[in-house]
Amino acid sequence: MATYKILILGASYGSLLGAKLALAGHTVKLVCLPQEADLINAEGARVRLPGRGVDGLVDLNTKTMPGDVSAGGTGDVNPADYDLVGLAMQEPQYRAPEVHDLLDRVAQAKVPCMSIMNMPPLTYLKRIPGIGADALTDCYTDASVWDNFDPSLMTLCSPDPQAFRPPDEKVNVLQVGLPTNFKAAHFDSDAHTGILRNLETDIANIRYNLDGREIDLPVKLRVHDSIFVPMAKWSMLMAGNYRCVQKDGMRSIEAAVHADLNASEMVYDWVVALCVKLGAKREDLVPFEKYAKAALSLRNPSSAARALAGGAPYIERVDRLVQKIAAHHDMQSDAVDETVTLVDGWLESNRQKA
């Protein structure tokens, strides 16, 4: 089995994917804040997730895995030393000067990159004919961070698993609430796609020893031939995550979807229609009924809603991105416009307070 060295920017979703890669025997370096890095290096990254046939959660610790997980800051790594780079921070974080500098070094090293963001890098959108990527720069906190990347070296992986930092735990602990799969699109290069397919196989073959018995763990990596598969997340974000945002507060994803199921389905299907217009096939995407069932277990507000409620002056604007791409293709939704207006209002208020 070939083993790879993988650099992942971000230690939240990064530690989930990193733990699965380390269980498969690979070497992972996480780039994160000093407090996170110190804890991960001292105590390991801990990931709690369900296991098939297991009561409660399986508590994984990267210190006890066949591969290796370590952590450091932006200045502690040379991107050219790695076979693959994962981008697992939220989009506004890339505007920080030290992170922007690391991104530039990644681009210069010509290492294949897999984005694990809800907000697709502008570079990835340039792989999609007719999307009008150059007109979307104002949807990004700082679109210039993507200027030096080669689109052929960028792919997108949908962060479908839902995970969170338990508020009463240390920052090296991540708990998986919805253990679905990471879904990645192929690279232009067969060789780079081959890395993803090898990782997919290695993760699928993991059997975790729990008290003397081997169990299968959820959260796989799935590699797809369609560049539209990761966009299945857009419908979920627009019908659920961003509709958590209300004029006077926030609601759970479950409430956002199920308080008015017909309205949620209309938003969801509208975004599906947009993706199909861009070139996706309906089988690339997730049926609303499957998403609505999964949303029943999502009893907290989305990370975007929590960030707004906490006073964040910037969040990932997939809502605005979808609205603007749709307008470019002569599509419009009153419900989506209302959501964008609500998010705009919260951000304006937060920036004034800041």
Q: Is a pLDDT exceeding 90 seen at residue 53? A: no
Name residues whose C-beta falls within 8 Å of residue 220's C-beta, 6 or more positions apart in sequence. 20, 181, 182, 200, 203, 204
| HEC profile of the chain | CCCCEEEEECCCHHHHHHHHHHHCCCEEEEECCHHHHHHHHHHCCEEEECCCCCCCCEEEEHHHCCCEEEEECHHHCCHHHCCEEEECCCHHHHHCHHHHHHHHHHHHHCCCEEECCCCCCHHHHCCCCCCCHHHCHHHCCCHHHHCCCCHHHEEEEEECCEEECCCCCCCCEEEEEECCCEEEECCCCHHHHHHHHHHHHHHHCCCEEECCEEECCCCCEEEECCCCHHHHHHHHHHHHHHHHECCCCECCHHHHHHCCHHHHHHHHHHHHHHHHHHCCCHHHCCCHHHHHHHHCCCCCCCHHHHHHHCCCCCCCCHHHHHHHHHHHCCCCCHHHHHHHHHHHHHHHHHHHHC
Q: Is a pLDDT exceeding 80 seen at residue 200? A: yes
Q: Does domain 5-224 have CATH number 3.40.1440.60?
A: no
CA atoms within 13 A on the CB side of 65: 29
Segment 185-208 mean pLDDT: 97
Are the C-beta atoms of 155 and 337 separated by less than 8 Å? no
Q: Is a pLDDT exceeding 80 seen at residue 224? A: yes
Domain boundaries, the chain: 5-224, 229-353
* pLDDT tens-digit map of 292-315: 999 999 999 999 999 999 999 999
Q: Does domain 229-353 have CATH number 3.30.1910?
A: no
Task: Read off the pLDDT band of 139 (50, 70, 90).
Answer: very high
* pLDDT tens-digit map of 153-188: 999 999 888 888 998 999 999 999 889 999 999 999
pLDDT at 177: 87
Segment 280-285 mean pLDDT: 95
Segment 34-49 mean pLDDT: 97
